[in-house]
Structure 1
Amino acid sequence: MINASKPKIWYGGDYNPDQWEKQVWDEDLRMFKLAGIDVATLNVFAWAKNQPDEDTYDFGWLDEMMDKLHADGIGVCLATSTAAHPAWMARKYPDVLQVDFNGNKRKFGGRHNSCPNSPTYRKYAVRMAEKLAERYKDHPALLIWHINNEYGGAGNCYCDNCEAAFREWLKERYGTLEAVNRAWNTGFWGHTFHDWEDIVLPSGRSEEWSGANGRTETNFQGISLDYMRFYSDSLLECYKLEHEAVKKYTPNIPVTTNLMGAFKKLDYHKWAKHMDVVSWDNYPRFDTPHSYTGMMHDLMRGLKDGQPFMLMEQTPSQQNWQPYNSLKRPGIMRLWSYQAVARGADTIMFFQLRRSIGACEKYHGAVIEHVGHEHTRVFRESAQLGAELGKLGDALLDSRVKAKVAIMFDWENWWAIEMSSGPTIALRYVDEAHKYYDALYRAGIAVDMVSVEADLSDYELVIAPVMYMVKPGVASKLEQYVAAGGSFITTFFSGIVNESDLVKVGGYPGELRKLLGIWAEEIDALLPSQRNRVVITDRNIGLKSEYECGMLCDLIHSEGAEVKAVYGDDFYAGMPALTVNKFGEGEAWYLATSPETAFLSDWLPKLCADRGIAPLLADVPEGVEVTLRVKDGVEYLFVLNHNEAAATIDLGKQGTELLSGRTMQGGSAELAGRDVWIVKLHN
């Protein structure tokens, strides 16, 4: 349990007293108490203050603040401050400075500005973590360690240290140059390597260039894919070094670092193995679909097999980095906070508790606004939420979300798809995953977002959108799952390559061909203006007669699979577009194209119903979200109305609504706009 040392849903956020005069501190603490804030994240960017030169460490301000917070009953999420190195370090040891994509050496500035393979950076970062851990190991305010901050939030590094480290990483991964040459297919374009020193980083000066729509294009996908793996691992190694440093002094204090949802650059499945608790920062736009935010919460929850996670950051009111930074309308902050709790969060925390007065985040929202008092709409809403979380106590802590449907999500597959030189630039992996998630979300069906390594035995239905890369052992694992009675869905552009992005010869979908019972002969890429049709040939599956499709169309032949729908147009009209293959006790579906939203909204709930997977509530109005958390056999039903207007909900179950204390009789009731119920169901 995250919250064992403070058994309630933690409420608080990033606090930067080092940016303020001391006379402000006591006033802040007074207002924290009014808002119900009980956890503060300290020291996130205070490295330069704590270490003014190479040999001097001064933690006086931090000592004082740790004591003050503890005296007021507030715990501390203590950061190691290593997300931005001090200016003196950059001047004295320039190896800490990154080299950009085009080979330019950076100067001091920004944040996340350190080379992860700089010996200097690693030395001083670990030393800072150790000094903090040794100093505060027995401090009663210390609840959890926060290593660095939002790793990977700046450009990658292409310096000589990274290049040398990349060669060592390759030696460990492949063992021999011959294996590297095979994995990268270096016979193409005369790239065969005969000496490790001949290998250079893929960058704007070698294999890569900036392409359309912000994509990085590459001549050699294998080289670029391994660089992405290497860079994720390099930052992870920095995290692990600091993790080990604080664990040496505080073995029983949990350690985390704040992740960023579907952040492309880091393989979070790999990172989560080294985190005691997953935490993440949630910053949806004003118009972000609620289902997308839900998918991100579920993705973060899935990183550690469904364990509750920390919502480390969200804004109380508005953000500052988007072109148009809308305010959160009244009730939205509370509603979105409960959406996080509904999907597995055991903390609600903000960036930030007091607004900065200068630099690029001075217009980023905060619990305490620039006016400096509690008489603001944002503060009143924050205090209301704080009071409610206090009332909930430990009732929801460590409760779990239960799902019978899983969507497989894989970072390396994402990387490989979006650096592919063809067949289309329109293919976006996260968008395709979200299409499937959104259809299930709208149907009120719970979903787990899982890795390709996950145990699938508890799921009735597993969906792997665009499984372009099939890693070793995955095909046989899926065969075993389906043979035992599971249902599996995958899509166009699947089963194409291995983990090195080398095509599996012998016919698409490669290792999945036996399971799916099809052969994909060709792949047609449609222009954005072009459409084809999916024409349903088996009316027993309960769908309309036809649907639009586009982007990519696999031209497939059945090799034992039943054809459920065909294409309606073009020279491949009549060829299969949707198939199902009976395999053992289960079945494997292949959807050969990207269909319109209506197809998935009609098909997936029907498929779930056929497998006994029911929505949590029937006939839920559009814009209403329903989830369930379970603890010790007790079920907690969350109903969230994302609409501005009230919605009538047929609860169908009796229970006690925890926020109001109201008894719910199980019939229809009205849920106000942007409001939430948390109903403890009666058995």
Structure 2
Amino acid sequence: MPINDKLNKIWYGGDYNPEQWDQTYWDEDVRLFKLAGIDVVTVNVFSWASLQPSEDEYDFTMLDDILKKMQEGNVSVCLGTSTAAHPAWMANRYPDILRVDWEGRKRKFGGRHNSCPNSPTYRKYAYALVDKLAERYHDYPGLLIWHVNNELGGYCYCDHCAKAFRVWLKQRYGTIEKLNKAWYTAFWGHTFYDWNEIVPPNLLSEGVHWNWQRSNQNSISLDYFRFGSDSLLACYKLEVEAIRKHSKDIPITTNFMGTYKEMNYYDWAPYVDVISWDSYPAPDHLPSMNAMTHALMRSLKDGQPFMLMEQTPSVANWQPYCKLKRPGEMKKWSYQAVAHGADTVMFFQLRKSLGSCEKMHGALIEHVGHEHTRVFRECAELGDELGRLGDRLIDARSDAKVGILYDWENRWAVELSSGPSNDLDYVKEVHKYYDALYELHIPTDMVGLEADFKRYNVIIAPLMYMIKPGFATKVEQFVQAGGTFLTTYFSGIVGETDIAFTGGYSGGLRSVLGLWSEEMDALYPEETNEIIISSSFQELEGSYSCSFLCDLIHAESAEVLGTYGFEFYAGMPALTMNRYGQGLAYYVATRPEKKLLRKLLQHICREKGIESLLPQHHHGIEAVRRVKDGLSFLFILNHNNTSTIVNTGLSSAFELISKEVISGDIELSAHGVAILQY
């Protein structure tokens, strides 16, 4: 369901909370929006308390006035459902709506996302509110998209959730006997004989006191992650149902949070018309991490463009050190989102709150209240540029031939695992591979397990700890047909219920990898080992450091490209390659230093005919390509604090922002951006 039909351009706007202000400000806000090029506002995100002041009373007067004012100002609307924070009267009258946290404590009214997703009270009143909103505003002419809730997340461990968890488990396993087998409940005599004996895995039951992510029974906690994500999805789907009763053709979204752990966004994606997410890179954030997260959001609906729903115009008040975005940084991060597939650029927030925890968060309109500020000027410049770009970039797609697998359930299982290292961080390990390709300027997609592997030449699966049914066969078919597959240490350990494979770790990948794994050595943070690449692999020949985990593997049909240099397993394989059908499968048995990883991935890409977007490496430079209607759009972003000359490798291209024809080198100012059409 396309989102740009009405505006025919990249949307530009953000969260607007006029209910926090006296109405005398509203006309001035509209004037300032026009100056900045703002054409979309997200409203009604946290208005439940004013929309429903009591159980039997609804009042839409203020929202009517807000929408009328936006229509008069020719500002379109992303309309929120307001269900992210329930009213105080509801918590007081119906305490079952309040969550119980992981430590078993019943919450009081306050904060947001404090509603139990399995509370019948919450679901009843949320549905009723959204039903009334959709009935009243479904034909509002300025409505572009519905925005359900806001940054959904968090789990609950109350009695409602315990009951719903048992129902969920019955549907998943059918019988208590199958559940016991799946969860390996013979361990510590935890066998269940009745569904009512099962309780949520919090600190009062299976939880380990020093880490809420860990438990004594990994399998039950893994299923509770699945259940928690499904519970929130059920609430989202309930609101969608209420909207669709009245609003048939307007797209619906909810804003995601990138690599947020607690929700499996691949499961959510089929029910979200347009993916949207909130991007808040910290000042010391690696640009490649943000790029990877954009690519992940793009992957959720098979490469469909997404919405950048929130970013700060300048400062994020909740970071440990609230550093201002330097001149040019806001535009650079905005264009990075567009480069990776965003068809909107939106902010939180448009006017700065006067009180509470977000009063120091950046905004288009600062507390001073006028347009004569650095931030406003930069936002207005960007608004003008986006207006001039028109629809040229709308619905342009990635043409990457390298895909990196990302699986939320695998992440849950990895980080629930009791060993081999407390430093296991799935996102960071995946990012190491993305970052290496990013620095090589090689286009890379993030992909889910259900993706069509055939569109890629190379598939990389870091830390593929959990091997689900059918995955090994899919990999075999991909490699047999000529693809290159790479996986790493701590892969092929367990199945989908977190039960370990027997017969040597491989998880069904033994044939395609040509090896099996015996055990793993976890290195202390200060420890390193060594990978010695043999002379048979001339391109990488030499000695490189490695760290973190060292898999002790046994090569069968695989060719050993590198071996460990130290410890009792010196001489054992550390890097292998196996020929399988028409393709190749690599196994990286440890965490190699960055230099080796870059060289290895560059070699693999060259072998598959995958070229860099730039003819040479430039430090701090990001290169991204979108394609549309036979045209390529090469985004070059300078993440350096100084100007940089970049060799584009293009004999002729049209730069869309400056509207100049360039060839060869281009100079980018600090945090500068170029968009080259060729």
> Considering the TM-score relative to the shorter chain, is it more than 0.5?
yes
Query: 1:607 aligned to 2:604?
Result: yes
Structure 1 residue 537: Cα displacement: 1.1
Q: Which amino acid aligns with 1:162?
A: C
Equivalences for 1:226-245 in 2 at 5 Å? 226-245=223-242
Structure 1 residue 544: Cα displacement: 4.3
Structure 1 residue 580: Cα displacement: 0.7
Which residue of the partner structure matches residue 221 of structure 1?
A: 218
Cα distance in 2 for residues equivalent to 1:449 and 1:667 = 30
Query: 1:453 aligned to 2:481?
Result: no
Checking the alignment, whether the CA contact within 8 Å between 1:516 and 1:580 is kept in structure 2 is yes
Query: 1:197 aligned to 2:196?
Result: yes
Which residue of the partner structure matches residue 180 of structure 1?
A: 179
Which residue of the partner structure matches residue 502 of structure 1?
A: 499
Equivalences for 1:308-327 in 2 at 5 Å? 308-327=305-324
- 2:653 maps to which of 652, 655, 665: 655
Cα distance in 1 for residues equivalent to 2:603 and 2:373 = 48
Structure 1 residue 603: Cα displacement: 1.3
Q: Which amino acid aligns with 1:449?
A: M
Structure 1 residue 215: Cα displacement: 5.3
Checking the alignment, whether the CA contact within 8 Å between 1:641 and 1:675 is kept in structure 2 is yes
Cα distance in 1 for residues equivalent to 2:50 and 2:358 = 19
Equivalences for 1:538-577 in 2 at 5 Å? 538-577=535-574
Q: Spell out, residue by residue over 1:583-626, the C-alpha distance to the aligned partner (whole angstroms, 9 max, x if none).
A: 10001100111111111122111210111000111114111111
Structure 1 residue 209: Cα displacement: 2.3
Equivalent position SS for 2:378: helix
Equivalent position SS for 1:638: strand
Q: Which amino acid aligns with 2:77?
A: V
Q: 1:371 to 1:160 in 2, by over 3 A?
A: same
Larger deviation, residues 544-553 vs 489-498: 544-553
Which residue of the partner structure matches residue 100 of structure 1?
A: 101
Which residue of the partner structure matches residue 589 of structure 1?
A: 586
Which residue of the partner structure matches residue 396 of structure 1?
A: 393
Checking the alignment, whether the CA contact within 8 Å between 1:508 and 1:519 is kept in structure 2 is yes
Larger deviation, residues 110-119 vs 644-653: 644-653
Checking the alignment, whether the CA contact within 8 Å between 1:535 and 1:545 is kept in structure 2 is yes
Checking the alignment, whether the CA contact within 8 Å between 2:535 and 2:541 is kept in structure 1 is no
Instruction: Flag as ranges the 4+ runs of structure 1 deviating above 2 A.
Output: 538-541
Which residue of the partner structure matches residue 298 of structure 1?
A: 295
Q: Spell out, residue by residue over 1:325-370, the C-alpha distance to the aligned partner (whole angstroms, 9 max, x if none).
A: 1000000000110000000000000000000000000000000000
* Structure 1 unmatched ranges of 5 or more: none
Equivalences for 1:83-482 in 2 at 5 Å? 83-152=84-153, 155-211=154-210, 216-482=213-479
Structure 1 residue 244: Cα displacement: 1.3
Structure 1 residue 649: Cα displacement: 1.6
Which residue of the partner structure matches residue 52 of structure 2?
A: 51
Q: Spell out, residue by residue over 1:72-125, the C-alpha distance to the aligned partner (whole angstroms, 9 max, x if none).
A: 221100000000000000011111001111211111000001000000000111
Which residue of the partner structure matches residue 72 of structure 1?
A: 73
How many residues get paired? 676
Cα distance in 2 for residues equivalent to 1:431 and 1:562 = 28
Structure 1 residue 210: Cα displacement: 3.6
Cα distance in 2 for residues equivalent to 1:396 and 1:541 = 43
Cα distance in 1 for residues equivalent to 2:265 and 2:240 = 16
Structure 1 residue 376: Cα displacement: 0.3
Cα distance in 2 for residues equivalent to 1:198 and 1:471 = 28
Structure 1 residue 539: Cα displacement: 4.2
Cα distance in 1 for residues equivalent to 2:590 and 2:191 = 37
Checking the alignment, whether the CA contact within 8 Å between 2:3 and 2:144 is kept in structure 1 is no
Checking the alignment, whether the CA contact within 8 Å between 1:210 and 1:216 is kept in structure 2 is no
Checking the alignment, whether the CA contact within 8 Å between 1:561 and 1:580 is kept in structure 2 is yes
Q: Spell out, residue by residue over 1:356-409, the C-alpha distance to the aligned partner (whole angstroms, 9 max, x if none).
A: 000000000000000000100000000000000000011100110110000000
Cα distance in 2 for residues equivalent to 1:79 and 1:541 = 58
Structure 1 residue 23: Cα displacement: 0.2
Checking the alignment, whether the CA contact within 8 Å between 1:67 and 1:141 is kept in structure 2 is no
Structure 1 residue 562: Cα displacement: 0.3
Q: Spell out, residue by residue over 1:309-337, the C-alpha distance to the aligned partner (whole angstroms, 9 max, x if none).
A: 00000000000111101000000000110
Cα distance in 2 for residues equivalent to 1:636 and 1:220 = 50
Q: Which amino acid aligns with 1:663?
A: V
Larger deviation, residues 331-340 vs 99-108: 99-108
Structure 1 residue 162: Cα displacement: 0.3
Checking the alignment, whether the CA contact within 8 Å between 2:26 and 2:69 is kept in structure 1 is no
Cα distance in 1 for residues equivalent to 2:582 and 2:593 = 30
Cα distance in 2 for residues equivalent to 1:382 and 1:210 = 46
Q: Which amino acid aligns with 1:655?
A: A
Q: Percent identity?
A: 59
Larger deviation, residues 341-350 vs 650-659: 650-659
Structure 1 residue 669: Cα displacement: 2.6
Cα distance in 1 for residues equivalent to 2:542 and 2:453 = 33
Checking the alignment, whether the CA contact within 8 Å between 1:133 and 1:245 is kept in structure 2 is yes
Equivalences for 1:659-670 in 2 at 5 Å? 659-664=657-662, 666-670=663-667
* Structure 2 unmatched ranges of 5 or more: none
Checking the alignment, whether the CA contact within 8 Å between 1:215 and 1:418 is kept in structure 2 is no
Checking the alignment, whether the CA contact within 8 Å between 2:202 and 2:212 is kept in structure 1 is no
Which residue of the partner structure matches residue 646 of structure 1?
A: 643
Cα distance in 1 for residues equivalent to 2:634 and 2:200 = 51
Equivalent position SS for 1:522: strand
Q: Spell out, residue by residue over 1:444-469, the C-alpha distance to the aligned partner (whole angstroms, 9 max, x if none).
A: 00111011111100111000001000
Larger deviation, residues 539-548 vs 431-440: 539-548
Checking the alignment, whether the CA contact within 8 Å between 2:505 and 2:516 is kept in structure 1 is yes
Equivalent position SS for 1:510: coil
Checking the alignment, whether the CA contact within 8 Å between 1:215 and 1:419 is kept in structure 2 is no
Structure 1 residue 652: Cα displacement: 2.3
Structure 1 residue 540: Cα displacement: 2.9
Structure 1 residue 541: Cα displacement: 4.8
Query: 1:632 aligned to 2:633?
Result: no
Q: Spell out, residue by residue over 1:532-576, the C-alpha distance to the aligned partner (whole angstroms, 9 max, x if none).
A: 000001443511401111111011111110000000000000000
Q: Spell out, residue by residue over 1:273-294, the C-alpha distance to the aligned partner (whole angstroms, 9 max, x if none).
A: 1100000000010010000010
Cα distance in 1 for residues equivalent to 2:602 and 2:242 = 49
Q: Which amino acid aligns with 1:14?
A: D
Cα distance in 2 for residues equivalent to 1:606 and 1:304 = 30
Structure 1 residue 651: Cα displacement: 1.9
Checking the alignment, whether the CA contact within 8 Å between 2:487 and 2:586 is kept in structure 1 is yes
Q: 1:91 to 1:215 in 2, by over 3 A?
A: closer
Q: Spell out, residue by residue over 1:474-517, the C-alpha distance to the aligned partner (whole angstroms, 9 max, x if none).
A: 00000000000000000011001000000011111131111100
Cα distance in 2 for residues equivalent to 1:216 and 1:250 = 40
Equivalent position SS for 1:400: coil
Cα distance in 2 for residues equivalent to 1:538 and 1:620 = 26
Equivalent position SS for 1:89: helix
Q: Which amino acid aligns with 1:473?
A: G
Q: Spell out, residue by residue over 1:24-46, the C-alpha distance to the aligned partner (whole angstroms, 9 max, x if none).
A: 11111110000000000000000
Cα distance in 2 for residues equivalent to 1:210 and 1:139 = 51
Q: Which amino acid aligns with 2:161?
A: C
